[in-house]
Amino acid sequence: MHEMSLAQGVLDILRDTARKQGFSRVKTVWLEIGALAGVDPEAIRFCFDAVTRDTLADGAGLDIIPIPGQAWCMQCSQAVTIAARMEPCPVCGGYRLQVTGGEEMRVKELQVE
Amino acid sequence: MCTVCGCGTGEEAVHTHDHGHAHDHSHAHEGHAGTGYRPVAGGALHFGLGPAGAHVGGMSQQRLVQVERDILGKNNGYAERNRQRLAGHEVFALNLVSSPGSGKTTLLTHTIERMKGELPIAVIEGDQQTSFDADRIRATGVPAIQINTGKGCHLDAHMVGHALEQLPPLDRGLLLIENVGNLVCPAAFDLGEAHKVAILSVTEGEDKPLKYPDMFHAASLMILNKIDLLPYVRFDVEKCIDYARRVNPDIEVILLSAQSGEGMEQWLAWIRREWQAQQRTVSAPEREPA
């Protein structure tokens, strides 16, 4: 979904940070992408390469740090890890899950020069 | 390929998830291979994993910059601005999302006909092209702004902010935002609305909440539309509701037919109830003694 918008959002953050921190080239970008963020890491990669062409991040490496999906199961009252939104609780098999983590999409860090 | 959402053809189609090679990307971090840092558990970067167990600073002009910024932060900032602006005028805003053809515009025109004597209403229409939908809304006598997204597959908060500038003032009223027909991309974009409402018609599959879980997770209400057609289609209502609650245990459900009017009163009652709930939250801090 909408990975091109997101890649553009990453580029906006790179440009903004370059202005504030005074660098002209981005060599590597670390992105944190949650398992429940609704984005496809491969599509992000493809779009990132496309939007950064001829910019300060042309040819930059993109390192995606996956963040596991976390939920609180209301039936068995414990924190569990899930890989997708429609997955049942791995312990009790129920669906009363409150997502608590794994929805993030963040630019974590940059290697620049 | 769609320039906004990246969905489409070409290389994207070849780039499925089924290819054999793993994406551990050992080529990453060009420029400091073997001597620099490595991300370790928890997303931290470890500088002491090089051959000498140390990192020598000042040897290159390369450096690390901590960013920690949300990719959707810009959109969320605009959404917050829209939300404050709407709250300032006590406007209740709904973001209606669905596939193309679920009957959103018909539902809107019938909602407007029944409610326009009760409170001021305005509509923001999102489509890739044409102003057909805004024309249908204006025919009911309420103001409508059409946003054409061009190649875009969703409305974003920046577009909606500009549309709000174009609309006449709407004090203590209802703003209905009809998003681009798409069950994927609009899920991630907060527009400043009070609630997302997902509309699913019974001519679609009952398994859509599982196929498009992000949207049904983001919505507060699911409307099952076109229920007058239930005798003619194979659509298991209970199964559909069960699927929706798997991805969103708190989602409310209303069955209606905009065309026949069945269930419309329930939908209008939901709008009134939620509108009043918002007024209470907005005005509550004002009642507190200074």
**In A, which residues are within 8 Å of B6 by CB distance?**
1-4, 7, 43, 46-47
Average pLDDT rounded to a whole number, residues A89-112: 94
Question: Does residue B74 belong to the interface with chain A, where contact is any CB pair within 8 Å?
Answer: yes
pLDDT at B152: 83
pLDDT at B25: 38
Which chain B residue shows the shortest CA-CA distance from A15?
Answer: B67
Give the tokens for residue B266: 């329930």
Question: Does residue B184 belong to the interface with chain A, where contact is any CB pair within 8 Å?
Answer: yes
pTM: 0.79
Q: How many A/B residue pairs have CB atoms within 8 Å?
A: 155
Q: Yes or no: say if B94 and B142 are a contact pair by the CB < 8 Å rule.
A: no
Whose CA is closest to B182, among B163, B196, B166, B168?
A: B196
Whole-angstrom Cα distance, residue B27 to residue B273? Answer: 56
CA distances from B35 to A65, B41, B53 (A): 20, 19, 9
Residue B63 DSSP SS3: strand
Give the tokens for residue B5: 């959402």
CB < 8 Å from A in window 113-172 of B: 153-154, 156
Half-sphere exposure of B133 (CA within 13 A, CB side): 26
Which chain B residue shows the shortest CA-CA distance from A113?
Answer: B62
Mean predicted lDDT score pLDDT of chain A? 93
Whole-angstrom Cα distance, residue B257 to residue B229? Answer: 9
Q: Yes or no: say if B170 and B89 are a contact pair by the CB < 8 Å rule.
A: yes
**Candidates B31, B65, B188; nearest CB to A1:** B188
Whole-angstrom Cα distance, residue B33 to residue A4? Answer: 29
- The one-letter code for the residue type at A19 is R
pLDDT at B285: 55
H or E segment at B24?
none
Question: Does residue B71 belong to the interface with chain A, where contact is any CB pair within 8 Å?
Answer: yes
Burial class (CB in 10 A: 0-12, 13-18, 19+), B126: buried
Give the tokens for residue B105: 């515009």
A63-91 b/e (C-beta count within 10 Å ≥ 16 → b): bbbebebbbbbeeeeeebebeebbbbbee
Whole-angstrom Cα distance, residue B201 to residue B101? Answer: 8
Contact A21 B65 (CB under 8 A): yes
Cross-strand bridge partners of residue B196: B95
Give the tokens for residue B10: 């070409």
**In A, which residues are within 8 Å of B43 by CB distance?**
30, 32, 65, 67, 108
pLDDT at B155: 93
Whose CA is closest to B196, among B182, B181, B180, B216?
A: B216
Q: Yes or no: say if A60 and A27 are a contact pair by the CB < 8 Å rule.
A: yes
pLDDT tops 50 at residue A43:
yes
Average pLDDT rounded to a whole number, residues A12-36: 95
H or E segment at B140?
none
* pLDDT values of chain B reduced to their tens digit, one per residue, 290 residues: 334 444 333 332 222 333 333 333 333 333 333 334 444 454 433 333 433 334 444 446 789 998 999 999 999 999 999 999 999 999 999 999 999 999 999 999 999 999 999 999 999 999 989 999 999 999 999 999 999 988 788 999 999 999 999 999 899 999 999 999 999 999 999 999 999 999 999 999 999 999 999 999 999 999 999 999 999 999 999 999 999 999 999 999 999 999 999 999 999 999 999 999 998 886 665 544 44
pLDDT at B141: 95
pLDDT tops 70 at residue A78:
yes
pLDDT at A45: 92
Contact B7 A41 (CB under 8 A): no
